[in-house]
Amino acid sequence: MEPNPELRRTKLLKAVFPVDEPAVTAPPLRVLMISAAGELGGAERSFCEVITALPREKIEPHACVPPDSQLARALASAQVPVHEVALRLFRRSLHPLALAGNVRALYQGSRSIAEVCRKAGIEMLHANTNSAALVGWEVARMTKLPFVWHCRDMAPLHGLARILASSAAAVVAISAAVEEQLMREGVKREKITRIDNGIDLGRMSRSGLYDAVRAQMRAKLGIQAHRPVLLSVGAYVPWKKHELFLDALALVRRRLPAVGLLVGSDRFGQNEAYVASLRMRARHLALNDDALKVLDEREDVPDLMAASDVFVSCSENEPFGRVLTEAGASGLPVVATRSGAKPEIIADQVTGILTEPGDAAALAAACLKLLGDPALRQEMGRAAQERVEKLFDVRRAARELTALFQRCAAQRQAGPRVPPTR
């Protein structure tokens, strides 16, 4: 039988004029990214910014966060699909009722998230912080999906780290300090991928507006243009060591009419005694409203940085120090205690000055050195900007996290992709 003439002509044309077949592009990997906290602290802001920066042609991020929260609203405004599930921030307790409540909350939250995974065709889980990792671990058990634990803490986990890591496809450490702490906890080195935090550099930019923003913010706070300003930002938790900032400010004020700005809050209402002790210390040091302005957590921290002359960080065992990169991006030199991951961010005597932990006199001396030398402050601020732009851009962190997700997906022995049910 004579072959179809049209088919024969088509084959002949393809043989004479070969046409490249279009490349088959794999659909993006659907990843459910879980946060147990809904308020925008440092870990949650890093979570939000890295999700927003993920390349959508490679990763389709979904977020699972507490309902009606700051984080849910921020992600929704960034066009990220948000699945609202009530989750508990787990706290250590040996009380039987507290333990039972934790187990029940873990199971209920995990069941809800497993249902989200089924409906949305999720292929991988990402757990932001240790509390979320507990949930991710249980959801992974229920769904057989791989999960990535993003560790942002240096608190000892007393054996739990090994358990979580053994079930995780990978563990992300946000700094070398966190990586070392995980290994001390017994997590195998080959399970850990270090991805340094990054920040949205655009959020910190005040290009061309710096002088105007500085003048406006100082006027709003009632601070005269000539007065030196020291800024410290951080949650009101004991390991942030805000009392050292107060002590150093009092010492600086013996020489200069400096103003201290202390920005933060007791976000989860668990450190009332510590907050009260800070108020008592400020009164004891005679730091009145003219000397110290205590401000609640706020969104205009970049403007506060423009209004300040030196950023001060007194914390111990800092797992990263996101606010230090924000200060650097703002061109603000930093005086900080040499602890945790801070030496990874601050180049001593280049982008700031590092002092020994717990030494208020050394902090004050470093602040006085910078306040007395405007040229040095400008030089260090410029070097800090260059360092942060080179090392701590969130787009770099998003690329590295994307590569990790893809490696974990490639290693997974599983069946066909599951389409989402609508």
What domains sit in the chain, N to C, each tagged with a CATH number? 29-198+394-411 (3.40.50.2000), 202-391 (3.40.50.2000)
Residue 99 is predicted with a pLDDT of 42
Residue 16 is predicted with a pLDDT of 57
Residue 3 is predicted with a pLDDT of 54
Q: What is the mean pLDDT of each run of 10 residues along the chain (422 residues)?
A: 57 57 76 93 94 97 95 96 83 46 74 96 96 93 96 91 94 98 96 97 82 95 97 96 98 98 88 96 96 93 96 97 96 97 98 98 98 98 97 98 96 55 39
Full DSSP string of 235-295: -S-GGG-HHHHHHHHHHHTTTS--EEEEE---TTS--HHHHHHHHHHHHHTT--TTTEEEE
C-alpha distance from residue 375 to each of 140, 321, 354, 380 (Å): 54, 26, 19, 9
Provide the Cα torsion 173, 130, 70, 43; round to 10°. Answer: -30
Which DSSP category does 191 fall into? Answer: G
Full DSSP string of 10-30: HHHHHHHS--PPPPPPPPPEE
Residue 96 is predicted with a pLDDT of 45
Q: Give, in degrees to the nearest 5, the angle at Cα 80 between 393 and 233.
A: 45
Residue 86 is predicted with a pLDDT of 87
Report the DSSP beta bridge partners of residue 313.
Answer: 336
Q: What global pTM score does this model have? A: 0.87
